[in-house]
Amino acid sequence: MKVIITDKIPIVAEQLIKRAGFGVKVIKRDKNFSKNVLIKNIKDADAVISLLSDKIDKEVIDNMRRCKIIANYAVGFNNIDLAYAKSKGIIVTNTPDVLTDATADLAMTLILSCARRFHEAEKLVREKKFKGWAPELLLGYDLKCKTLGIIGAGRIGQATALRALGFGLKILYYNRTRKTEFENQTKAKKVSMNLLLKKSDFISIHLPLTNETKLLINRNNMKYLKPNAIVINTARGEIIDEEYLIQLLKSRKIFAAGFDVYENEPKLNPKLLKLENAILLPHIGSATVETRNAMAELAAKNVINVLNHKKALTQIN
Ligand code: DGY
């Protein structure tokens, strides 16, 4: 049995798979890596551990002749055609829970950094423009007594809200279903999307990308944003109208935005680079040593279970 890992991930994955008695190969990516290279490498695999940047569409799946499981090394799974994989009898798994805290920490980091203009302040010092303390230098906003709107009150959204409580923020949330336990724990109120955008000083996006959530935040509802609004996206770029968000930031109709994800990732809209009131991160929501190890371990355990004809731990299709 052969397991293919489509890029180097923490060694624990390889170790566990080998210890379970299966062969494993890690693809060495170089600048020539392409869909065809991916297909060539995985066509005889019994199991694949994929990255969120590997587009596993019908064409790729049709070329997986023996694959029993695609274990995505991410909580998001919009890169995989789940239904088609299922129709071919391929189990798909993700890595939930283990990356909740790291991603919520990053969302909170962006909230604080945007509110206190961290990126502008740091740049000013590096550029040797710091001429001494000044009453109006780089004024930002307090968090205390402000409102955080959580869009998507799943694991990461809730974990972000819990962190925000410690900074004195009140919580509104938008979610398909009501989360009573979350409400009891945080006094959060469930509201419509329009009301959330109207009332929130900070907006943090935590939805999965699906056909329903694509452009859920768009020019029709973003018109409700407050002039001091700060928008944070650590979920997926396609959930919000990026071009319109850029317009709002450029014309200072909102205060700031923190991006960890982009519409056409890894390609960046060049207009983003010119915005002073945006923080741009390279999709590092889960990027801590502990979390990436835990993700590798979970992906490997899913593979081992399925190859041993046992139930996957986190099946999504
Ligand atoms: C994921 O795993 O889907 C997240 O985007 C990590 O940041």
Domain boundaries, the chain: 2-96+288-307, 100-280
| Residues 161 and 188: beta-carbon distance below 8 Å | yes
Q: Do domains 2-96+288-307 and 100-280 have the same CATH topology?
A: yes
For ligand 1, is residue 52 a contact (CB within 6 Å)? yes
Cα–Cα distance for residue pair 91/122, rounded to 1 Å = 46
107 and 156 Cβ atoms separated by less than 8 Å: yes
Nearest atom within ligand 1 for CA of residue 284: 7
Q: Any catalytic annotation for residue 119? A: no
| Partners of residue 71 on adjacent β-strands | 49, 93
Domain 2-96+288-307 falls under CATH 3.40.1280.10: no
Ligand 1 centre to CA of 76 (Å) is 6
pLDDT tens per residue across span 30-40 = 999 999 999 99
**Best probe residue, ligand 1, of 207, 286, 295 (max atoms within 8 Å of C-beta):** 286
pLDDT in tens, 46-80: 999 999 999 999 999 999 999 999 999 999 999 99
Catalytic residue status for 236: yes
Residue nearest to atom 7 of ligand 1 (CA): 285
* Predicted TM-score of the model (pTM): 0.96
CATH top-level class of 100-280: alpha beta
Work out the end-to-end distance of the chain between its first and last CA atoms, rounded to an integer number of angstroms.
Answer: 23
The model's pLDDT over 3-13, given as tens digits with 9 standing for 90+, comes to 999 999 999 99
